Amino acid sequence: MNVLIMGAPGAGKGTQAAMIAGEFGIPHISTGDALRLAVDQGTAMGQLAKGYMERGELVPDDVMNGIVRERLGQDDCRGGFLLDGFPRTVPQAEALDGILAESGRKIDRVVYLDVDRELLLERVTGRRVCRSCGATYHVRFHPPAKPGVCDKCGGELYQRKDDSAETVRTRLEEYDKKTAPLLAYYRERGVLCRIDGAKPIAEVSEDIRRCLRGPAE
């Protein structure tokens, strides 16, 4: 099964992707995580992406399309994959269709997590991420047993640089302008499932399971 998970910053893509990838046995491909790793490692791509990410702007399409083409060509994606945070523009969606068509593949389902603005801001500004394993927490909605320490691996929790209220505003504007039009793109293709992402984490997971096992909207 080839799946996309979509939604505004803070909608819960990463949180739910971990569940889907585990249960359905497919790799979780987060372009945001891939870029953050490249920035930390100081690769050429990381140096290029850093400024865009810190400002909350999208990284150029040709860079992103290259990353995804390379990743989807790897063996572990043959039995399906879950893309988180890509595509984010209509040209990226068209490029993705082209990449998949080359190997006779297509997108089977698009999970869209719908969450209103106020809640998104609260989620993003309260998020904490494990430096070692990448697990995601929230100071109010999903706190670790011990503040600042990962429940899963004992790693240190940190706040993403782009999670300041100021940068989140730019990220949300980018989403409205460039990414939201993709919902119509996938709805027309009959693969979109809109899910109420404001519910508690476990309930959202249950709704996603239902969408992936049954027909789209």
Distance between CA atoms of residues 198 and 193, nearest Å: 15
160 is in an annotated binding site: yes
Minimum CB–partner distance for residue 145 and ligand AP5 (Å):
14
- Determine which residue in the list 142, 187, 189, 209 makes contact with ligand AP5, applying CB under 6 A: 142
Interaction between residue 133 and Zn ion (CB under 5 A): yes
Choosing from 88, 109, 123, 194, the catalytic residue is 88
State both tokens at 152: 């899963």
Q: Does the annotation mark 194 as catalytic?
A: no
89 is in an annotated binding site: no
60 is in an annotated binding site: no
Distance between CA atoms of residues 127 and 124, nearest Å: 5
How many other C-beta atoms are found inside a 10 Å radius of the C-beta of residue 44?
8
Give first-to-last CA distance, the chain, whole Å.
17
Q: Draw the binding track, 2-41, toward Mg ion (x: CB under 5 A; -: no contact).
A: -----------xx---------------------------
Q: Does the annotation mark 88 as catalytic?
A: yes
> Binding partner of residue 171 among Zn ion, ligand AP5, Mg ion, none, CB under 5 to 8 Å per kind?
ligand AP5
State both tokens at 84: 């988180």
Cβ nearer to Zn ion, comparing 21 with 211: 21
Q: Does the annotation mark 131 as catalytic?
A: no
Minimum CB–partner distance for residue 122 and ligand AP5 (Å):
8
Q: Does the annotation mark 128 as catalytic?
A: no
Interaction between residue 15 and ligand AP5 (CB under 6 A): yes
Cβ nearer to ligand AP5, comparing 204 with 215: 204
Interaction between residue 135 and Zn ion (CB under 5 A): yes
- Annotated binding residues for ATP, written as ranges, equal 10-15, 127, 136-137, 199
Site residues (CB under 6 A) for ligand AP5? 7, 9-15, 31-32, 35, 52-53, 56-59, 64, 85-86, 88, 92, 123-124, 126-127, 136-138, 141-142, 162, 171, 200-201, 204
Q: Which residues are catalytic?
A: 13, 88, 127, 160, 171
